[in-house]
Amino acid sequence: MAEVDSKIDYQDKGSILAPLKALQFFGRQPVTAPLDPRPASANYRGFHLNDWETCIGCSTCQKVCDNAAITMVEVPGLPHDPEQGVRNLRPAIDYGRCCWCALCVDLCPTGSIALSREYVHTCKDAELDSYFILPDDKGIHGVAYDIGWGKHAESDLIAPERVAMQELSPQARADNFDEIVAGYDPNQAIIEASRCVQCGMCLDACPTHMNAPEYIRAIWQGDNEEAVRQIYRTNPFSNTCGRVCTHRCETACSIGHRGEPVAIRWLKRYAMDAVSTERIKAIVAESRPSFLSGKRVAIVGAGPAGLTTAFDLAKQGHEVVVYEAMPAAGGMTRYGIPYYRLPSDMLDRDVEIIESLGVRIQYNTRVGQDISMEQLRDEFDAVMLAVGLWIGRSTGVKGSDSSQVYRAVDLLREVADGQAIKVPKQAVVIGGGNVAMDIARTLGRLQRQHFGQIDVTMTALEDLAHFLADPDEIKEAGEEGIRILPARGPQEIVQEQGLVSGLRTWGVTSIFDDQGRFAPRYDERDEQIYPADMVIEAIGQRADVDLLGADLTEALEWNRGRLKVDDDFRTSAEWLWAAGDMVQGPDVVTAVANGHRVAASINSYLSIREQVS
Amino acid sequence: MSTGKELTRWLDDLLTEIEGIKVRRQSSKRLRVDIEPDALPALLALLRGRASYVHLSAISCVDWPNEEQFELVYHLWSYEMQSLVSTHTRIPREPGVYLSVYDIYPPAAFYERDIHEFYGIRFEGSPDLSKFILTEWDGPPPMRKDFDSEAWVHDHFDWQDYNPEWLRQLIAEGGGIAIRADEQRFSHHDDGRDQPAASQREPERDRQSPNTPEQPS
Amino acid sequence: MRPENYEAQRHPPSHEYELNIGPNHPGIEGNYAFKLRLHGDQVIEGRADAGYLHRGFEKLMEGRLWIQNLAITPRICVPDPVPMEVSYCLAVEDLCGLRVPERAQYLRVLQLELSRFASHLFCFGGHAATVGMYSPSFWGIADRDLILDLFEELCGGRVYHIYNIPGGVRRDMPPGFIERVSNTLDYLETRLPDYDDLLFRNRVFVTRARGIGAMNQQQALDWGVTGSNLRATGLPFDVRRDDPYLVYDQLDFDIPTEDGGDAWARALVRRKELFESIRILRQVLERLPDIPGPIRCPIPNPLAWNVPAGSTYTRVESSKGELAWYVVSDGGERPYRTHVRGPSQMHAVQVLERLAVGSRIEDVAQIMFSLDACPPEVDR
């Protein structure tokens, strides 16, 4: 290693052969100037590539681009399905502004966009349009170069894992109705909210288009009141939805395409829990009307659909009276969903806040009994039906008319109403949906409380992969000791001496025929009998429309057993609307969405009436 | 030769001799001093003379319009003590005048000229406050928080007009520009709060070229 | 003309004239103008004129998210972009309290030293060209290209690396990279004697460079000179030793100095620093395989990242001198103030102006290059 000293003898003239040293350079390789195009390195940041199959059009790349180089372009013909979180938008890059920093690549939730190893592009002034490209997998010039800087675990800036939610363990929850989910603490909520990239897929997918990006952002900023304000723009049932919603938002979440979706439902719950009921009432009161219209609207059923309509109409200055047959409001959310999933005092908060706008709920008043539909039609300017689906269907198999065969909705209603039910020692539940899970897990708890052990069997036509219930419910039910037997078809409820003794089932070979119609086929050789002293049917529900009365039932139009309604949920009678589970259920957030629709329709109807008369 | 610890303690003691000073040691090599503007030159002279802080690394200026103040930070480094002292002082935004410390630290001339040009602060006694970098600029001092450089750019320059073949074809098929490049930036124009999420906007069928600026909302 | 209307015109002395060098001039490093006032071929006064490379970075950074600024930090100093990136990241890490994993720290030192080497090669080339010797500049650019190839492999970009991120670096080394770096270092080591023969032992160069732009220690300290220029006056001050950052306190290297403080001494100091850089790089390459681990600590979602309020002053040793960043955060998602203190802010302005006085016109360019004065840092 030749060192150079400042005491260099620069007087030294050197030897006469010194110039010959230069000859060595003839043998050396030049450093640069290859004749062939020079290939770029393996993780070079060249021009963009985008895999259109993987890209979902979430526009997160556009958000993180610091030079405003990305434009989102609508490409007709590409899949556009808000519920799956896919848009037909694709990014177009302006190379006059792009600096090739690859932040778009690192932040892309799906990993579709990448930078290639192509780096040469020339054009004349007249061809400047060539700087603005819509990259697909073939690159700027249509020559597919390899990917240079693509999605990589080391540089990935998306946080794929959700903040874990604390829940009661199976042992801790098996014999009580305590709420299973603990909720986030402020730290967890802020961290979880920070995972959101504000793409808005959740907003698209939500039936009532909740402003989830806005309230998630507000939670992240620590402003829970603003979050509540954003939540109430579209959903006055958020203590409820924050616990039991079917979270289409999370299905559509762009982070969920490769990682776990942002916990949008738990964040909604966090914001609603974090602000006191009094404060929420004050926030909601900001939208109190400054005048009253003098119009009166009757709503039958104080469930999510009915109360959402009531909330909206009250904000628009109309007088609203809600007739509720049960002693408390909430509909299926109180009388169908068990306490361990949705504590009723949380639901009470939602109802209290809605009532604080001046909505009057008359409990223990059954329309069709205590007051007729005709009376409502005469005393009110508009009427809405939101009576839900409260009649449980029966399989109709032999023995299903026994007194020890129950419908799940009836039992759940009694439990929620605080009534003591007969707890069976051995129960068999027919059905594989969420309601079946609810009754099975409720009975399991009651059995542990009464007998110290559980014996609940669930059978359903579907195999486990196609169960209609939420995967979480299936998992938790299994943890709690419920025996789940898929692909069994009920044939007979066996009775001995007038008492139910078991359920006889055959194996299911197929449920639907070639045309997709419901036509289950069984394997008669695969017969099993499950002992039980109570059989509960949870195979579906229908609406109780007896309240309409014979004349009105005759006058209205029906569509295969359900009331026929138009896009605004108006029946064929111009003063009557119907929405919620009875029309489009069963689903809470859909009912809320329906409720908004109905309120808008009623409001414009009432305004028109005002002008005309 | 004193050890590093002793020197830092000596320095901390030395500084307590001065009135109206707030000292906070952030680490072994970083000390923060907050002082009134009147007392700053004396502090600098003290640090240079007695404490061997011969190197003025930089003078930084921070604009605090909400508090109507400019904050001047003098970063001094001592080769002997191998530690940095950052002296912070605040001057009122109006009239934005202060003393030059050129007589204590000759490198200050550059920074004072720079701060004068970009913030508009006059340093009395600085040898040369003529324009240096922005010689053809006649607008307000641009680093001030009330000068919006992006708005200025929008007013004076046009976005590039592009009209490539693929875009024309897409528009013919019924597609087109859906979200313009500057609509969703996390820039200082929107902090993400009032901006509706992407989907709530009507997709814009921009029949002209993309990136034509519309009036900023 | 009536006598009472006569006004004496103030003419400059007829033997003085003004010459404007730059902003596009091979004798100027970068885009920079230097207005000289000459008496014959003797410089009486020099005034620097900057602004041709002002891109407004400090203002731009206030309007962008913390992570978006990574894309523009390397552009502040073009020949030696890595210290800019690293010092910004160090500042953000300091404000956030992030702890950079050891592997990432070594990777950062690797980048920094390679960048220093490349920058010095660039500087020699320029310095030699100002005295009319163009071969060293061609050699310098060519050899620097090999280093840029290494950067391309590691970072995905040759000049603007955008490779450092607060919390670490973005990608790990590709397989076989250590060997390739080692081979390149071997090659560069064999080149150093060639450079010595061509340039440093070259009597022409020595004669031209000695005595030019001389300053003594006291002047250097008074004028705020840092880096190699300061070491050329005999003071062994180096930010890597005095204010250590990353893992420099665990690496073994010397601080070369020279006496004389003239262009020759500065060139020699840089030449010695090349050797020290190779030494540091060899140690890094030796240790890297045994340091497993992540190359970045966990960081928040860039779109939802608030840096806690506070301010910090980070100093690193770039090839040109002491580079420092003063970063102020108000607790938000964008910097409140970023102030870049580039070493050339002293060297290219006051020091250059003072040293030019009394020199001859043919030496002005040499003074600027020997100071390694880099205008993008001045203008930002």
CB contact under 8 A, A71 and B184: no
Mean pLDDT of the residues in chain C: 89
Alpha-carbon gap, residue B86 to A102, rounded angstroms? 36
Q: What is the DSSP string of A299-311?
A: EE--SHHHHHHHH
The answer on pLDDT for B10 being more than 80 is no
Task: Identify the pLDDT of residue B191.
Answer: 42
- Asked if C302 contacts C92 with a C-beta cutoff of 8 angstroms, the reply is no
Q: Which of B31, B61, B132 to mutate to test the interface with C (most CBs of C within 10 A)?
A: B132
> Among candidates A439, A479, A431, A438, which has minimal Cα distance to A459?
A431
Token pair in block for residue B112 = 């004072």
Alpha-carbon gap, residue C46 to A492, rounded angstroms? 107
- Amino acid type, A438: D
Q: pLDDT (tens digit, 9 = 90+) per residue, A165-205?
A: 888 888 888 888 888 888 889 999 999 999 998 888 899 89
CATH architecture entry for A291-390+545-612 = 3-Layer(bba) Sandwich (3.50)
CB contact, 8 Å: B18 with chain A?
no
Looking at beta carbons, which residues of chain B come within 8 Å of A203? 197, 199-200
Nearest beta carbon to residue C341 from set B57, B135, B188: B57
Q: pLDDT (tens digit, 9 = 90+) per residue, A404-431?
A: 888 989 989 998 888 888 888 888 998 8
Task: Identify the pLDDT of residue A568.
Answer: 86
> Among candidates A208, A181, A364, which has minimal Cα distance to A269?
A181
Determine the average pLDDT of the residues in A29-55.
Answer: 84
Q: Name the A residues in 212-271 with CB < 8 Å from any B CB.
A: 213-214, 217-218, 221, 226
Higher-confidence position of A12 and A98: A98
CB contact under 8 A, A68 and B163: no
- Which residue in chain A has the smallest CA separation from C259? A6
Query: How many CA atoms lie within 13 Å of C242's alpha carbon, on the beta-carbon side?
Result: 22
Q: B212: which DSSP letter?
A: P
Q: Which of A67, A74, A196, A234 to mutate to test the interface with B (most CBs of B within 10 A)?
A: A74
Nearest beta carbon to residue C326 from set B29, B54, B73: B73
Long-range contacts of B107-116 (CB under 8 A, 24+ apart): B107/B56, B107/C223, B107/C224, B107/C346, B107/C350, B108/B56, B108/B59, B109/C350, B110/C345, B110/C346, B110/C349, B110/C350, B111/B56, B111/B58, B111/B59, B111/C345, B112/B59, B114/C345, B115/B59, B115/B61, B115/B72
Torsions phi, psi for C130 (to 5 deg): -70, -20
Task: Identify the pLDDT of residue C12.
Answer: 61
CATH topology of domain A48-149: Alpha-Beta Plaits (3.30.70)
ipTM for the predicted complex comes to 0.87
Alpha-carbon gap, residue A434 to A581, rounded angstroms? 15
The answer on pLDDT for C302 being more than 60 is yes
Looking at beta carbons, which residues of chain C come within 8 Å of B74? none
Looking at beta carbons, which residues of chain B come within 8 Å of A200? 197-200
Q: pLDDT (tens digit, 9 = 90+) per residue, C155-186?
A: 988 999 999 999 999 999 998 999 999 999 99
CB contact under 8 A, A63 and B178: no
Q: Which of B25, B53, B57, B193 to mutate to test the interface with C (most CBs of C within 10 A)?
A: B57
CB contact, 8 Å: C292 with chain A?
no
CATH topology of domain A392-541: FAD/NAD(P)-binding domain (3.50.50)
Nearest beta carbon to residue A148 from set C68, C156, C258: C156
Cβ neighbour number for residue C9 with a 10 Å cutoff: 5
Nearest beta carbon to residue B173 from set A76, A82, A201: A76
Determine the average pLDDT of the residues in A238-250.
Answer: 90
The answer on pLDDT for C336 being more than 90 is yes
Alpha-carbon gap, residue C175 to A8, rounded angstroms? 42
- Amino acid type, A329: A
> Among candidates A566, A493, A544, which has minimal Cα distance to A387?
A544
User: Strand A558-559 to strand B21-27: parallel, antiparallel, or no bridges (unpaired)?
Assistant: unpaired
The answer on pLDDT for B92 being more than 50 is yes
Torsions phi, psi for A272 (to 5 deg): -70, -35
CB contact under 8 A, A129 and B163: yes
pLDDT-derived band at A487, boundaries 50, 70, 90: confident
Chain C neighbours (≥3 Cβ pairs under 8 A) are A, B
Alpha-carbon gap, residue A118 to A44, rounded angstroms? 8
Task: Identify the pLDDT of residue A399.
Answer: 80
The answer on pLDDT for B42 being more than 90 is no
Cβ neighbour number for residue A317 with a 10 Å cutoff: 17
List the CATH code of the domain at C55-379.
1.10.645.10
The answer on pLDDT for C13 being more than 60 is yes
Phi-psi region of C156 (alpha: psi -120 to 50; beta: other; left: phi over 0): left
Task: Identify the pLDDT of residue B41.
Answer: 87
Determine the average pLDDT of the residues in C304-318.
Answer: 92
Task: Identify the pLDDT of residue A66.
Answer: 80
C342 contact partners, CB below 8 Å, separation of at least 6: C76, C77, C320, C323, C374, C376, C377, C378, C380
The answer on pLDDT for B138 being more than 90 is no
Q: pLDDT (tens digit, 9 = 90+) per residue, A111-163?
A: 999 999 988 898 888 888 889 999 988 888 888 788 889 998 888 888 888 98
CB contact under 8 A, A94 and B181: yes
pLDDT-derived band at A611, boundaries 50, 70, 90: low
Alpha-carbon gap, residue C143 to C184, rounded angstroms? 9
Work out the angle between the directed axes of helices C102-130 and C81-96 (0-180°, nearest 10): 150
- Amino acid type, C262: D
CB contact, 8 Å: B167 with chain A?
yes
User: Angle B52-B58-B61 (CA atoms, 0-180°, nearest 5)?
Assistant: 130
> Among candidates B59, B55, B43, which has minimal Cα distance to B84?
B55
Q: What is the DSSP string of B129-163?
A: -S-SS-TT--SS-TTSTT--HHHHHHHH-PPP---
Chain A neighbours (≥3 Cβ pairs under 8 A) are B, C
Task: Identify the pLDDT of residue A178.
Answer: 85
Q: pLDDT (tens digit, 9 = 90+) per residue, A328-363?
A: 998 889 988 999 899 989 999 999 999 998 899 999
The answer on pLDDT for A502 being more than 90 is no
Alpha-carbon gap, residue A416 to A181, rounded angstroms? 19
Determine the average pLDDT of the residues in A518-526.
Answer: 85
- Asked if A340 contacts A480 with a C-beta cutoff of 8 angstroms, the reply is no
CA dihedral C159, C160, C166, C172 (to 10 degrees): -50
pLDDT-derived band at B198, boundaries 50, 70, 90: very low
Determine the average pLDDT of the residues in A531-556.
Answer: 85
Determine the average pLDDT of the residues in C280-291.
Answer: 92
CA distances from C164 to C39, C155, C326 (A): 49, 9, 18
CB contact under 8 A, B107 and C224: yes
Nearest beta carbon to residue A203 from set B174, B179, B200: B200
- Asked if B114 contacts C274 with a C-beta cutoff of 8 angstroms, the reply is no
- Which residue in chain B has the smallest CA separation from A140? B166
The answer on pLDDT for B195 being more than 50 is no
Task: Identify the pLDDT of residue A559.
Answer: 81
- Asked if A544 contacts A558 with a C-beta cutoff of 8 angstroms, the reply is no
- Asked if C350 contacts C223 with a C-beta cutoff of 8 angstroms, the reply is yes
Q: Name the A residues in 479-538 with CB < 8 Å from any B CB.
A: none
CB contact, 8 Å: B157 with chain C?
no
A178-284 homologous superfamily: Alpha-helical ferredoxin (1.10.1060.10)
Q: pLDDT (tens digit, 9 = 90+) per residue, C47-91?
A: 888 888 899 999 999 988 999 999 999 999 888 999 999 999 999
CB contact under 8 A, C62 and B188: yes
Helix (H, G, I), strand (E, B) or coil at C329: strand
Task: Identify the pLDDT of residue A72.
Answer: 92
The answer on pLDDT for C237 being more than 70 is yes
CB contact under 8 A, A213 and B162: no
Domains of chain B, earliest start first: 4-147 (3.30.460.80), 150-200 (no CATH)
User: What are the structural domain ranges in chain C?
Assistant: 55-379
Looking at beta carbons, which residues of chain B come within 8 Å of C341? 57-58, 60, 75
Gyration radius (Cα) of chain C, Å: 22
- Amino acid type, C61: M
Q: Which of C235, C239, C242, C336 to mutate to test the interface with B (most CBs of B within 10 A)?
A: C242
Alpha-carbon gap, residue A406 to A400, rounded angstroms? 8
Determine the average pLDDT of the residues in A101-114.
Answer: 92
Helix (H, G, I), strand (E, B) or coil at A550: helix
A91 contact partners, CB below 8 Å, separation of at least 6: A48, A50, A55, A59, A61, A62, A70, A71, A72, A73, A104, A113, A134, A135
> Among candidates C208, C275, C272, which has minimal Cα distance to A10?
C208
- Which residue in chain A has the smallest CA separation from C279? A1
User: Angle A602-A605-A606 (CA atoms, 0-180°, nearest 5)?
Assistant: 85
Which residue has 């003393």 as its token pair? B99
Q: pLDDT (tens digit, 9 = 90+) per residue, C81-122?
A: 999 999 999 999 999 999 999 999 999 999 999 999 999 999
Determine the average pLDDT of the residues in A586-608.
Answer: 88
The helix (H) or strand (E) run that includes residue C379 is helix C375-379
Gyration radius (Cα) of chain B, Å: 25
pLDDT-derived band at B144, boundaries 50, 70, 90: very high
Mean pLDDT of the residues in chain B: 79
Task: Identify the pLDDT of residue B56.
Answer: 92
Q: pLDDT (tens digit, 9 = 90+) per residue, A384-400?
A: 999 888 888 888 888 87
Nearest beta carbon to residue A157 from set C146, C201, C302: C302
CA dihedral A200, A206, A208, A211 (to 10 degrees): -30
- Amino acid type, C263: A
Token pair in block for residue A497 = 């001496």
Alpha-carbon gap, residue B99 to B89, rounded angstroms? 12
Q: What is the DSSP string of A126-169?
A: GGGGGGEE---TT-TTS--PPEEE---TTT--S--SPPPPPB--
Task: Identify the pLDDT of residue B70.
Answer: 93
Looking at beta carbons, which residues of chain C come within 8 Å of A66? 64-65, 68-69, 71-72
The pTM is what?
Answer: 0.87
Same fold, A178-284 and A392-541: no
Determine the average pLDDT of the residues in A456-482.
Answer: 87
As a whole-number percent, the residues of chain B with pLDDT over 90 amount to 27
- Asked if A308 contacts A237 with a C-beta cutoff of 8 angstroms, the reply is yes
What's the start-to-end Cα distance of chain C, in Å?
Answer: 53
Task: Identify the pLDDT of residue C88.
Answer: 94
Determine the average pLDDT of the residues in A247-265.
Answer: 90
CB contact, 8 Å: A77 with chain B?
yes
User: What are the structural domain ranges in chain A?
Assistant: 48-149, 178-284, 291-390+545-612, 392-541
The answer on pLDDT for C211 being more than 80 is yes
Task: Identify the pLDDT of residue C315.
Answer: 93
pLDDT-derived band at B114, boundaries 50, 70, 90: very high
Nearest beta carbon to residue B133 from set C65, C337, C379: C379
Task: Identify the pLDDT of residue C7.
Answer: 55
pLDDT-derived band at B194, boundaries 50, 70, 90: very low
Which residue has 């894309």 as its token pair? C71
Nearest beta carbon to residue B192 from set A88, A211, A217: A217
Ranking A486-495, A574-583, B192-201 by mean pLDDT, the lowest is B192-201
Alpha-carbon gap, residue C152 to C158, rounded angstroms? 5
Q: Which of A73, A194, A214 to mutate to test the interface with B (most CBs of B within 10 A)?
A: A73
CB contact, 8 Å: B112 with chain C?
no
Token pair in block for residue C116 = 């220093």
Task: Identify the pLDDT of residue C25.
Answer: 86
